[in-house]
Amino acid sequence: MANRNRWLLPDGVEELLPPKAWSAEMIRRRLLDLYRSWGYELVMPPMIEYLESLLTGTGNDLDLQTFKVTDQISGRMMGVRADITPQAARIDSHCLRRKGTTRLCYSDSILHTRPENQQKGRSPIQIGCELFGNDSIESDIEIIRLMIETMYLSNAPFIHVDLSHVGIVKGVLAASGVTGELRRSLLDALTRKSVPDVEMITQSSDLASDIADQLRLLPLLIGDEAVLEKAAGVFGHSDPSILAALAQLDVMGKAICQLYPSISVSFDLCELRGYHYHTGLVFTGYGDASGSVLAKGGRYNSIGEEFGRARPATGFSVDLKSLVKFSGQSSFSGRIYAPQTDDEALNREVARLRKEHIVVQGFDGDSGTPQDMGCDRQLVNIDGKWQVKPVSEQ
């Protein structure tokens, strides 16, 4: 690499510089205070763990997103975390081992081998909450409320929540009896919401007509609460698990609308994000009209069993970096400049002011001006007393 390129960062790996870095930190502090007020305890898992622990119960998607290295001490494979959720589940199962409900929160860097989409980088700062030990709809409502409060606290201008339930697609596929390559092809077509491909697969396979009709309709069941009424007619005589999933979506949608009348809610009965990982409700939060995902979460009851201790679980997370654009940048100006002297009175005044203001003390030989340091005021000695005056006043 040429000398002039040594400072370049890898594609998709970005850093936060002033003033955005302070904006992100202020949001992080407010969010952790919010989670603490709801009873969530902070955990700080390590950046790297043995690979089998990081990937337990997460499916193939996280495996592809995880950087892998060989431990020089043990010779075992290790992974740089691509998601903190499995680490939180490990902590709940093996470190805390509580019998009742456990609420955990976190905020730390993760790393992806590839960006999730064109708008995302490969080095998010993941912040979120996980709730273990309770399988009720009330626990899902609590997590979704925290996701919404997170977006509110970040000053997102437009909040929209999309709800889904993996039990619907799983129920239809189970009733169809399809396996192997046909099942994989159907899942791929449903994930892409490709109506022509689903149509082609169902026509070329020996499926019952009612199952084929349900599969063809799934990619089209997207919209407001009317979608649930239509789905109830489509799946009215289906497996009870599908009807239970529709009932949960109805309860959740009504709860959100009652608690947050100003936000919009939609339903996507063919949303398959984390299909092999999630076990129930899946939810996505949008913070503006661009359509880019701001927050996401869902229920994942199976991961605790993979760790040797079956525990229901639900949670959400958001990339802290994506919240900065809504918060407004912390201003570099508004500081107070203090000269460098041995005056004890000045030192006392600087200490007093720093309890409420940012005070920057200059050094002998500084080439920059107070304005270059972001100062619009300065401490000036007037008649033996140090006073704050605009920088323009000499």
Average pLDDT value for residue range 58-73: 87
Report the alpha-carbon distance of residue 134 to residue 333 in Å, rounded. Answer: 48
Token code pair at residue 8: 């370049």
- Strand order in 359-361's β-sheet? 359-361, 335-338, 375-382, 385-390
Predicted local confidence at residue 392, as pLDDT: 78
123 and 82 in one domain? yes
Burial 65-87 (b: 16+ CB within 10 A, else e): bbeeeeeeeeeeebbbbbbbbbb
292 and 152 in one domain? yes
285 burial (CB, 10 Å; 0-12 / 13-18 / 19+) is buried
196 and 343 in one domain? no
Q: How many domains does the chain have?
A: 3
- Nearest Cα neighbor of 256 from 144, 164, 154 is 144
Report the alpha-carbon distance of residue 297 to residue 147 in Å, rounded. Answer: 8
Domain hosting residue 248, numbered range: 166-286
131 and 95 in one domain? yes
Task: Residue 177: give its domain's CATH number.
Answer: 3.30.930.10
* Cβ atoms 16, 324 nearer than 8 A: yes
* Domain presence at residue 314: yes
* Domain presence at residue 148: yes
Token code pair at residue 297: 């979460």
* Domain presence at residue 3: no
Token code pair at residue 200: 């082609």
149 burial (CB, 10 Å; 0-12 / 13-18 / 19+) is middle
- Phi then psi dihedrals of residue 294, to 5 deg: -100, -45
How high is the mean pLDDT of the chain? 91
Judge if pTM exceeds 0.85.
yes
- H or E element in which residue 315 lies: strand 313-319
More confidently predicted of 37 and 288: 37
346 and 275 in one domain? no
Give bridge partners of residue 348 from the DSSP assignment: none
- Encode pLDDT of 7-38 as tens digits: 899 999 999 998 899 999 999 999 999 999 99
Out of 43-52, 152-161, 332-341, least confident range: 332-341
- Encode pLDDT of 209-232 as tens digits: 999 999 999 999 999 999 999 999
* Domain presence at residue 323: yes
* Strands 335-338, 359-361: pairing kind: parallel
